[in-house]
Amino acid sequence: MVRILSIETSTSVCSVAVHSGGNLASLCELSESGAHAERLMLLVEEVLERAKIGFQDLDAVAVSEGPGSYTGLRIGVSTAKGLAFGLSKPLIGVNTLQALASAVDVKEGELIIPVLDARRMEVYREVFDWNLDSVAKLDAEVLSEGSFQNFLEGHRVYFLGDAVDKVASVVQHDHAEFISDLSFSARYMGKIAFDRYQKEQFADLAYFVPNYLKEFKALHSKKNPLLSI
């Protein structure tokens, strides 16, 4: 049975899971300040212990590739790459939004739009069909009353993610369904990671980087002259 360690650090939740044949075997999550940097490897060790396996029993390491928090993604990807390299196991990158979309069972003709909170009225979003194929590429969108209308006119659309309440506050349509009880988690990475493992769709350890979607920009501080150099 294929065992894959999944790491999800794109949001404030630090989440690690082990999947066996695409099915969840164990899960450990923390939502606290500093968890990504301070507790990630401890969670990895704990989730393996709960699954009653060791590092060498893993067949691959999967990691959420973004979009999401710059710091969270950087820590998660660095850790996953280090584990994959040290264990000589393949690395699998998983689209953060596609992983969450896989948590919803929809009928043919229906769409899934996971939304991740960016800032103010902006979200990261991607549109997936019932087969989890992308029908509108990953992008950042400033919400307005007209957002997603082209999809809502002809389809029932399921919105989910940590920005779903923000979307619900401006988007009103009979075809819109808002799911507020699903959050970004490593538990949802198993199906996609297992499929990519079977197809040998592995990331290149030397060149794999997170998809921040937006360039990270450090704000210049007048109090710290070094930041203006």
CATH number at residue 124: 3.30.420
Q: How far is residue 59's CA from residue 226's CA, in Å, rounded to a whole number?
A: 45
Same domain, residue pair 173 and 116? yes
- Same domain? 66 vs 37: yes
How many separate domains does the chain show?
2
**Mean pLDDT lowest for which of 30-34, 35-39, 189-193, 222-226?**
222-226
The pLDDT of residue 223 is: 45
Q: Confidence class of residue 225 from pLDDT cuts 50, 70 and 90?
A: very low
Question: Domain check: are 90 and 152 in the same one?
Answer: no
Whether the full predicted model's pTM is greater than 0.95, yes or no, is no
**Average pLDDT, stretch 20-27?**
98
Q: What is the mean pLDDT of residues 54-59?
A: 98
Write the CB contacts of 183 (distance below 8 Å, at least 6 apart in sequence). 11, 13, 100, 161, 162
Q: How far apart are CA 49 and CA 51, in angstroms?
A: 5
* Per-residue pLDDT tens over the stretch 158-200: 999 999 999 999 999 999 999 999 999 999 999 999 999 999 9
Per-residue pLDDT reduced to its tens digit, 127-161: 999 999 999 999 999 999 899 999 999 999 999 99
Q: What is the pLDDT of residue 213?
A: 76
Q: Domain for residue 86, yes or no?
A: yes
Q: 35-51 and 70-87 are packed helices; what angle lies between their axes, rounded to 10 degrees? A: 40
80, 32: one domain: yes
Residues 110 and 136 in one domain: yes
Q: What pLDDT, on the 0 to 100 scale, is given for residue 33?
A: 78
217 within a domain of the structure (yes/no): no
